[in-house]
Structure 1
Amino acid sequence: MPFMNEILPDTAEAFGKLRDSIFEGGELDRKTKELIAIASSVLMRCQYCVDVHSQRAAANEASKKEIAEAIAVAMFIAGGSQLGWTNVYGENVYDIVFGEKKPEEAEKEKGCCCGNWRRNQRNS
């Protein structure tokens, strides 16, 4: 973070101290922390972080299979989260999509579903 070091040196230093306090010491060993960081980096879609933490995990004796499993865990969480976020209507949107809603009921609703949701929120 050269720009951060130059423009906000106190912030850059604090960020470095945060990193050090998390990755050095504690109950989890460094390899485990780096594997968690890999999975988190996949979820955050940070290619740089995946690369850095994979290298650090390997340097702390993580095997390629362990790194791959950390990535697979992140993939599972990302995929599964697509099922759980859909309860904003008071019922799961997939139940609506695949349920017994009749086409004429759907035609009565005008506009984007997001607009209907917003109207329902205001009327609640």
Structure 2
Amino acid sequence: MPFMNEIMPDTAEAFGKLRDSIFEGGELDRKTKELIAIASSVLMRCQYCVDVHSQRAVANGASKKEIAEAIAIAMFIAGGSQLNWTNIYGENVYDLIFGEKKSDKSGNEKLDKEKGCCCGN
């Protein structure tokens, strides 16, 4: 973060202290923390972070197989999260799509689309 060091040195220093407080000490060992950081980096789609935390994990005793498992866990969470998200309707969108359609008082089937969606449809 060279630009942060130059423009906002106090913020850069605080960020470094946060990192140090998380990765040093505590109940989890450094290898485990780096494996969690790898999985989190995959979910955040930060290639740089995946690379850095993978190198640090190896330096702290992680094997390539352990790194691969951390990535696989992130892939599972990313995929599974797409099955259980909700939207403005207040219920699982897949239940709206594949479940019984709601009907209005006249018995006509409809979906409540008064609010529209983010793509304007």
The normalised TM-score by structure 2 is: 0.82
1:42 maps onto 2:42 in alignment: yes
- Return the offset for 1:112: 7.3
Q: Are 2:85 and 2:93, in contact at CA under 8 Å, matched by a contact in 1?
A: no
1:105 maps onto 2:109 in alignment: yes
Per the alignment, residue 105 of structure 2 pairs with: none
1:1-124 maps to which residues of 2 (within 5 A)? 1-86=1-86, 88-101=88-101, 105-106=109-110, 113-114=116-117
Per the alignment, residue 120 of structure 1 pairs with: none
Q: Deviations for 1:13-35, whole angstroms, at most 9, x for unmatched residues? A: 11111111111111100000000
- Return the offset for 1:97: 1.3
Task: Measure the CA separation in 2 of the matches of 1:65 and 1:110.
Answer: 47
- Return the offset for 1:94: 1.1
Report % sequence identity: 86
- Between stretches 90-99 and 60-69, larger displacement belongs to 90-99
**3-state SS in 1 of match to 2:82:** helix
Give the gaps of 5 or more residues in structure 1: 116-124
Task: Measure the CA separation in 2 of the matches of 1:36 and 1:90.
Answer: 31
**3-state SS in 1 of match to 2:109:** helix
- Between stretches 7-16 and 91-100, larger displacement belongs to 91-100
**3-state SS in 1 of match to 2:36:** helix
Task: Measure the CA separation in 2 of the matches of 1:105 and 1:19.
Answer: 54
Q: CA RMSD in A?
A: 2.2
- Return the offset for 1:87: 5.7
- Return the offset for 1:93: 1.9
Aligned residue pairs total 113
Distance 1:9 1:90, change over 3 A: closer
Q: Which amino acid aligns with 1:18?
A: L
Give the gaps of 5 or more residues in structure 2: 103-107
Q: Which amino acid aligns with 1:105?
A: E
